[in-house]
A and B are shown apart, each in its own frame.
Chain A
Amino acid sequence: MSFFSYFVSGISLGSIYALIALGYTMVYGIAKMLNFAHGDVIMIGGYVAFTAITTMQFPVWLSICISILACIILGVVIEKIAYKPLRNATPLAILITAIGVSYLLQNVALLIFGSAAKSFTSVVPKFSVELGGVSITGETIVTIAVAVLIVICLSIFINKTKSGRAMLAVSEDKGAAQLMGINVNSTISLTFAIGSGLAAVASVLLCSTYPQISPYTGAMPGIKAFTAAVFGGIGSIPGAMIGGVVLGIIESLSKAYISSELSDAIVFGVLIIVLLVRPTGLFGKKFNEKV
């Protein structure tokens, strides 16, 4: 394989990270919490799609819709049950709850589906394109195209529609937004719904590119996508996209040229360096602490 093909597969992996990172960054921007369970929502989305396609023999488009719907419901329910009662609690309590939810989802999946990885049938029809002497798989092309499309749609939604601007207002100042007549609770629910829906899309793409699924599928991509969100600047949508792609390229190239076993360590090293050198990320805003 040449440098170019590693580069392209890095962009494809990065696009998946970007979709997951969007969920993190929106929730962090609005609810000011790290939704640890986001990675496991991805895993659940993958299992729903797997069950629909392989067990129930549904057509692919219907399976994807079911998966998205299931994730949206799951995301909103998690927010209502676990996070909403803690809205005024200490950050430590919220974080521990989020870890608990993540652990719960993982173990429910473990009890239902078992720990062995199941092979996932790709949702993309088999085709490949020759580009510069390198053949690029259909999954790679579809992943990149879907990610770009979603980021464009999401940017338009947030900047142009009423509920999108309500999200911006809530992320800026929750109290002031409430005084302006914005329903903060439903805005937060909407954020969780969008983030979880994107997670379902990401899960289908992830499981198609790496054709298997296990209860731990979501954990690592989840943490890496959070890294991408921090890299791009928490709260920024183009930041999440660029952060995700850059991280995907770093991972793919370090797997190819340094060591495949140490690639995780390298990605985490990037996270640590970014947080220490520029904690606000590429596009993040800096807030001063007021007493």
Chain B
Amino acid sequence: MSKKIKSRNLDKYITYSFLILIFVISQLLVMTGVASNKFEGLLVPISVYVLLAVSLNLVVGFSGELSLGHAGFMCVGAYAGSLFSLLMQNVITVWWLRFPMAIIIGGLVAAVAGFLIGIPVLRLRGDYLAIVTLAFGEIIKNLFNNMYLAIDKNGVFFSMNASAYTKHAFDAATKQDLIKGAQGITGTPNDSNFVICFIVIMICVIALLNLIDSKTGRSIKAARDNRIAAEAMGIDVTKAKMTAFVIASFIAGMAGVLYSHNLRTLVASKFDYNLSILVLVFVVLGGMKNMRNVIIATIILYALPEALRALNDYRMLLYAIVLIVMMLLNNNDKFAAFKKKLSIKALIARFNTKGGVK
């Protein structure tokens, strides 16, 4: 038993050092000027996708429920964080004070959205749950796409109707557009950078890896493996699934804030079904269990088509094929046996039986 815990801890530290190593290497590449501008520009988006992938992995891999509305929570977080930064831009002028607050607020608002949506959604199972999360994701995108929010000296204007916005008599001198329908939010301060992304990733990964091994994490996994058996053992299945869902929404919301503060304009149409699927592809290629593999899969799948121009036209096709082939291989007995033979654990076991390191 203790040996198992030790190897699990070792695995955690490998993940942490792997993340730090990647961070140091890319920082060095940027600082020495070896890396191109394009590479530098990719660092924040990749970090955002890593956060999305690890949080979706908690829901799909560990909780066993397919959520197709992950982009929706990111959208909620992005809008909340951007609004906060926009309003506080002149109040809190120090960016390193304002931005962490924006990140936490974005995460919290997304977590509340996750909780509210989770109440009805988690009563459903399997295919129904998937399609309802998809529906919620589309509804969120649709609502933000039609939202108008502006302030002037007469107060706050809010409407879900474009014509009400154009007809409204604003005080031109003090008018400030916050959310402008399909044109979204403009003028968010560009506070995002790779260092802060890395810090957020590190905190999230440490929290997630410890959560998975905790009592809550074990009940999440038990509820996935056999709902009825877990219930019989006294586990509150709905609570376990809700915990995973809310934490995942929180992280997705933070990812949304990091994303929105890296752009000039934030539009809701970016957070569509395709984005949710993209994150799902990363999780699936990462094997849907191991956080480290999911991170590696995200980096490779996102960076590879960017690096090879020729591949870029076919990137969506590549993602689709990854989804199908991974599922077919995972459920193929011959491939499972082959993979078992190749795994590091099996190699170590073979080494041990030969009288090597004890």
Contacts and interface: CB of A to CB of B under 8 A. Distances in A.
A223 B134 contact: yes
* Chain B interface residue number, banded: 35 or more
Interface string B326-357: 01101110000000000000000000000000
A33 B127 CA distance: 8
Contact of A268 (B130, B138, B146): B138
Given A86-B331, A103-B323, A265-B138, A96 B284 contact: yes
A104 interface: yes
A108 B161 CA distance: 37
B228 A291 contact: yes
A226 to B, nearest CB: 6
B159 to A, nearest CB: 11
A271 B135 contact: yes
B323 A272 contact: no
A82 interface: yes
A272 B314 contact: no
Nearest to B162: A261
Interface residues of A, number: 43
Contacts of B330: 93
**Secondary structure of the A contact surface, majority rule:** helix
Given A262-B146, A268-B138, A92 B60 contact: yes
Which of A101, A106, A261, A264 has the most B CB atoms < 10 Å from its CB? A261
A216 B134 CA distance: 16
Nearest to A32: B127
A283 to B, nearest CB: 17
A100 B283 CA distance: 13
B11 to A, nearest CB: 24
B328 A110 contact: no
**Secondary structure of the B contact surface, majority rule:** helix
Interface string B203-217: 000000000000000
B331 A89 contact: yes
Interface string A49-72: 000000000000000000000000
A97 B324 CA distance: 5
A27 B248 CA distance: 32
B183 to A, nearest CB: 14
Contacts of A268: 135-136, 138-139
Contacts of A142: none
A34 interface: yes
Given A85-B328, A96-B284, A261-B146, A275 B128 contact: yes
A107 interface: yes
Contact of B320 (A103, A223, A259): A103
A22 to B, nearest CB: 17
Contacts of A95: 66, 126-127, 130
A104 B161 contact: no
Contact of B120 (A34, A101, A276): A276
B88 interface: no
Contacts of B319: 103
A56 B142 CA distance: 39
A108 B327 contact: no
Interface of B: 60, 64, 66, 68, 120, 123-124, 126-128, 130-132, 134-136, 138-139, 142-143, 145-146, 160-162, 228, 273, 277, 280, 284, 313-314, 316-317, 319-324, 327-328, 330-332
